[in-house]
Amino acid sequence: MNGLKIENLYFHTIGPVSLSVAKSECVGIMGPSGAGKTLFLRAIADMDPHTGKIFLNGTESAQISGHQWRRQVGLLPAESSWWLDTVGEHFDKNINKKWLSAVGFDADVAKWEISRLSSGERQRLALLRLLANRPECLLLDEPTANLDPENITRVEKFLETYQRENKPSVIWVSHDSEQLSRISTRCFILKNKSLIINHKSQITNEHHFPDTV
Amino acid sequence: MNIISLTPSDLSIAALLIVALSFLSIRMNLGMTRQIIVAGLRTTIQLLLIGFVLKTLFSHVHIGWITLISFFMLMVAGREVMIRQKRRFSGWWGFGVGTLSMSVSSFSITILALTVIINIRPWYEPQYAVPLLGMLLGNTMSGISIGLDRLTQTAYDQRAIIEARLMLGHEWTRAIENIRKESIKSGMIPIINSMTVAGLVSLPGMMTGQILGGNPPMEAVKYQILIMFLIAGGTGFGTMAAVWLGSRRLFDERQRLRLDRLKNAN
């Protein structure tokens, strides 16, 4: 089967959770703070111990090593981390110029000092850094939480284009139900230790992404 | 040459320094009085004991006794490495990582020195084996404890960075590479520093002892150079081994960062 398939996942005190996300599908996840949304994404990326099976395009996570799995299943944490002095040093290759302008940066951003970036700039650059691996599955933890409305629109449009071209399976965690109804095909709520489908949002969305943005 | 033997009253005069220090500590509210007195007492008792042990050992040369005392020294040093860690590995790893690295490097270097360099027969002659091993263990112990402490503490502080790198698909070795290098360096710096200033700022203790004991200065110097190299080797290899083992233990078979394998000493 293509896409991401999660079977009977137990992590921390939560589970069982089963979920399938098709190729180029975007699934939204909401839920009260502390319900375990971040832990859910971490378990899928195999960052925390868990039981159950996770498949990506038919390959089970246990079949390949942890770092190979995480190259394909890219998790974007809510807080990005940077460990070298400049932006460019954190990228293996040159940063894609089209991507840079799509999320509102000049081409010379590679030379910028990390210490001078705002939290919103860091968040957008962390997204590009993750996408540079071309992951087949994207796990986004509040990817627009630190952004102003203009940049939220930019990032949503950019991810929409990226998804149309590269067809990754996406899980998007957000507090913003309107955002999730814009970008996702199905929306789930994680609470009381399980994942429940949110029918309201499912009806309103027939396409993965509206073509008229 | 004859040695001026120290009498108990000579040592008592020196001990007055410690007493004076502890009085001053009370007056200044340093809160170190107890520590000063306990350390002074420990030094006296432990050294008298080892003197007695060495005296016995020298008159009964047997590999069994040497093995026994080496093992004892290793256990004490291993425990010391462990309790110096603020965040140590839980379970046997806390004791094992340091002790294993220390034993491999100290024992192999001591044996190398005894059999190949000094070439004494029998190679376990306690007059050489015990002080050599002691010096190596003592120095390797500090290198390893500094290196491990740095490793676990930095990994704890920089967990977000390590995990960010793992999430980008970096292998665990790459994610911890910088921290590992810094930890090894910090463990090796003291011995490199003391090699740098040896003879200029201070006369190393072993050489001082030999000279006070009436040995010709050049003989003492040659031994000191040998010891310095042995210690540098022992500390360097021991620290590398300990930091490597320790960093391996920080990750599991799925290359996840497992800080739950550390516990806070307090």
Q: How far apart are CA A141 and CA B240, in angstroms?
A: 38
Q: Please tell me whether residues B51 and B73 are part of one structural domain.
A: no
A134 dihedral zone (left: phi>0; alpha: psi -120 to 50; beta): left
CB pairs under 8 A between A and B: 61
Confidence of residue A209 (pLDDT cuts 50, 70, 90): very low
Return per-residue pLDDT of chain B as tens, 266 residues.
567 888 999 999 999 999 999 999 999 998 889 999 999 999 999 999 999 999 999 998 999 999 999 999 999 999 999 998 999 999 999 999 999 999 999 999 999 999 999 999 899 999 999 999 999 999 999 999 999 999 999 999 999 999 999 999 999 999 999 999 999 999 999 999 999 998 888 788 888 888 988 999 999 999 999 999 999 999 999 999 999 999 999 999 999 999 999 998 86
Chain A residue at shortest CA distance from B170: A67
Written in H, E and C, the secondary structure of B126-192 is HHHHHHHHHHHHHHHHHHHHHHHHHHHHHHHHCHHHHHHHHHCCCCHHHHHHHHHHHHHHHHHHHHH
Chain A residues inside the 8 Å CB shell of B179: none
pLDDT of residue B2: 65
- Whether B163 sits inside 8 A of A79 (CB atoms) is no
Nearest CA in chain A to B160: A81
Read off the pLDDT of residues A157-168 as tens digits, 9 standing for 90 and up: 999 999 999 999
- How many Å lie between the alpha carbon of A120 and the closest alpha carbon of chain B? 17
The answer, yes or no, to whether residue A210 has pLDDT greater than 70, is no
CB-nearest partner of A130 from B168, B172, B254: B168
Residues B22, B36 contacting (CB under 8 angstroms): yes
Chain B residues touching residue A125 (CB < 8 angstroms): none
pLDDT (average), residues A51-76: 96
Same domain, B80 and B142: yes
Lowest mean pLDDT among A128-142, A190-204, B86-100: A190-204
* Nearest-Cα residue of chain B relative to residue A91: B168
Contact call for residues A157 and A178 (beta carbons, < 8 A):
no
Checking if the pLDDT of A151 tops 70, the result is: yes
How far is B112 from B226, CA to CA, in rounded Å? Answer: 12
Q: Residue A31 pLDDT > 80, yes or no?
A: yes
Query: What Cα–Cα distance (Å) separates residue A199 from each residue in A188, A203, B241?
Result: 8, 7, 57
Are residues B53 and B69 located together in one domain of the fold?
no
Shared domain for B36 and B143, answered yes or no, is: no
Look at residue A185 and tell me whether its pLDDT is greater than 80.
yes
Are residues B12 and B87 both part of a single domain? no
B178 touches chain A (CB under 8 A): yes
pLDDT of residue A213: 33
> Inter-chain contact A71–B166, Cβ cutoff 8 Å?
no
pLDDT tens column, B147-183: 999 999 999 999 999 999 999 999 999 999 999 999 9
Highest CATH level, class, for A4-204: alpha beta
Please say whether the beta carbons of A17 and A194 come within 8 A. yes
- Write b or e for each residue in B141-173: b if 16 or more Cβ atoms lie within 10 A of its Cβ, otherwise e: bbbbbbbbbbbbbbbbebeebbbbbbbbbbbbe
Residue A211 has pLDDT above 70, yes or no: no
The answer to whether the Cβ–Cβ distance between B169 and A70 falls below 8 Å is: yes
**Residue A212 to chain B, least CA–CA distance (Å):** 32
Residue B165 sits at the chain A interface (C-beta within 8 Å):
yes
Do B20 and B67 belong together in one domain? no
pLDDT at B204: 86
Identify which of A48, A65, A133 has the shortest CB distance to residue B168.
A133
Q: Domain locations in chain A?
A: 4-204
The percentage of residues in chain A with a pLDDT greater than 90, rounded to a whole number, is 85
Reading the block at residue B131, the tokens are 């002080």
B93 with B204, same domain?
yes
Q: How many domains does chain B have?
A: 2
- Residue A73 — φ and ψ, nearest 5°? -110, 90
Q: pTM for the complete prediction? A: 0.88
Instruction: Specify whether B21 is located in the same domain as B79.
Output: no
Is B133 found in the same domain as B55? no
For A65, which residue in chain B has the nearest alpha carbon? B254
Averaged pLDDT, A166-176: 95
CB contact under 8 A, A47 and B161: no
What is the model's pLDDT at position B20? 94
Q: What digits encode the pLDDT tens for the residues B238-250? A: 999 999 999 999 9
What chain B residue is nearest to A134 in terms of C-alpha separation? Answer: B168
Q: How confident is the model at residue A74 (pLDDT cuts 50, 70, 90)?
A: very high
CB contacts under 8 A, B 67-96 vs A, are none
Q: Find, in chain A, the residue whose alpha carbon is nearest to that of B255.
A: A66
pLDDT band at A191 (very low <50, low <70, confident <90, very high): confident
Which among B211, B210, B261 is positioned nearest to B90, based on CA atoms? Answer: B261
Q: Which pLDDT score is estimated for A204?
A: 46
pLDDT of A68 reads 96
Residues B216, B244, single domain; the answer is yes
Beta strands in chain B (DSSP E): 87-89, 262-264
- Cβ of A47 within 8 Å of Cβ of B255? The answer is no
Structural domain harbouring B34: 1-59
Residue of B167, B178, B252 with shortest CB distance to A70: B167
* B188/B199 same-domain check: yes
Looking at residue A198, what is its pLDDT? 82
Same domain, B29 and B139: no
Note whether A94 contacts B: Cβ–Cβ < 8 A: no
User: A157 or A1, which is more confident?
Assistant: A157
Distance from the Cα of B189 to chain A's closest Cα (Å) equals: 24
Closest by Cβ to B160, choosing from A66, A79, A130: A79
Residue A207: what pLDDT? 44
Using left for φ > 0, alpha for ψ between -120 and 50, and beta otherwise, residue A66 falls in: alpha
As a whole number of angstroms, the distance between CA A163 and CA A167 comes to 5
